[in-house]
Structure 1
């Protein structure tokens, strides 16, 4: 079986408050790109995981990988042998690990069906994992695990992902948030929420990795309909009116910044 760990982006991410449990109260618009990591699965005597691809060296401990943890959350009588082609950068604001765990859940669903409590099992792996299991545009509240539907008027929108190849851990970015509540997500369909929303983690992320500001400036210079940082960074995204505009932008950035990572795709339903 083959599955894709679809890259997750936050079209908007509003941080409302710090909670007493140490987490943050969030409001976010999750979207997913039709590209990402690739997983291949086969029935095996016992669970096994092989990691290949450009960013495989950044996953030094495959047994501590969230993919292996996802397998452990879904007990069954037979094992699964998984090969993970790691195409998404690690610690990049794309939910790469969560996306991979989501793909494992979908593989399990196709083979055995998911247990009724799958959302709780997924949430124990990470706040983004429940959204990544379905990999459909949705709203996230609480820590990001409380999901609701949204009118998706951005389906098939061309998108370009760019990362300066600087890993950025989530914890320090949240710790750098200034604690100011700048208000809730706008109401309406996805386009309005994205256009009128913001990412409250951009400022603290740029404070830690100034290259993010350079990436955003470069993306803005390509004439997108929207450019913003995703999640806690350091990956940024740009939405375009048509595929040709995205192709031109990708070519321009590749020429001007050959050291940056990039990936092109479209927004999923």
Structure 2
């Protein structure tokens, strides 16, 4: 079995309030890029997880990896031998771990089918995991687990992801949110929401990693029709009218930054 763990971006992310349970009430527009980590799996006598790739060294505990937790949460026979090629940076606002878990759910679905409560099982692994199971554009509410379909007019749109190679944990970014509700996410198709929406986590993220401002400045001067930070950062994205514009923008980036050129699913 082979599956891509598609990189997640938030075309908009509106934080509405802090909840009594410690989480935040969100309105977000999930979109997915046609590239990401790669997973291969084969039936085995017991679960085994091996991690390779550029960012394998950032996963200090493979057995605590969300891939292992996803396997444990689903019926899949005696075990699977899984190889994770970690191509996406960790703690980067791309939902990399959640995307890996979503890929596991899809592989299990193809072989064994998913239990009726798969959504609840996915949500227990992380707020982004339910959206990452299908890895198609959708609106997320609540903590991000309450999903709604959305008219996807951006499938195939060229997109560029850029990260300054600085990991940024989600918790401190949410803690830095100023608590001001700046209004609901706009309604409409993906293009409308991407143009009129915002990311309320950008100011606290930039306070922690000022280099995010450098990335956004480069993208906003690259011919993109929209650019924004994704999730809690520090990855930013830009969307373009043509692959040539995207590729020229990528070629002009500082070589020290990580980047990924792709298209929206």
TM-score range, shorter chain: over 0.9
Instruction: Report the equivalent of 1:155.
Output: 155
The CA deviation at 1:75 is 2.8
Confirm whether residue 17 of structure 1 aligns to residue 14 of structure 2. Answer: no
Aligned twin of 1:26: 26
Query: How does 1:132-147 map onto structure 2 within 5 Å?
Result: 132-147=132-147
Tell me how far 1:223 sits from its aligned partner: 1.2
RMSD: 0.5
Counterparts of 2:152 and 2:79 in 1: how far apart (Å)?
A: 37
Aligned residues: 265
Instruction: Name the counterpart of 1:243.
Output: 243
| 246, 258, 263: which one aligns with 2:260 | 263
Distance 2:252 2:68 in 1: 38
DSSP 3-state at the match of 1:124: helix
Q: Which residue of structure 2 aligns with residue 119 of structure 1?
A: 119
Q: Name the structure 1 match of 2:130.
A: 130
Q: In the alignment, is the contact (CA less than 8 A) between 2:225 and 2:240 conserved in 1?
A: yes
Q: Alpha-carbon deviation of 1:65?
A: 0.3
- Structure 1, unmatched stretches of 5+, are none
Separation (CA, whole Å) in 2 of partners of 1:55 and 1:95: 14
Which consecutive segments of 4 or more residues in structure 1 shift more than 6 A?
none
SS at match of 1:219: helix
Is the Cα–Cα contact under 8 Å of residues 76 and 108 in structure 2 kept in the other structure? no
What CA distance in whole angstroms lies between the structure 2 residues aligned with 1:108 and 1:77? Answer: 10
Compute the displacement of 1:77 (Å). Answer: 3.0
Could you tell me which runs of 5 or more consecutive residues in structure 2 were left unpaired when the two chains were aligned: none
Distance (whole Å) between structure 1 residues aligned to residue 176 and residue 118 of structure 2: 33
| Structure 2 residue aligned with 1:56 | 56
- Distance in 2 between residues matched to 1:178 and 1:154, nearest whole Å: 32
Deviations 1:46-72 (A, max 9, x none): 000000000000001100000000000
Corresponding position of 1:176: 176
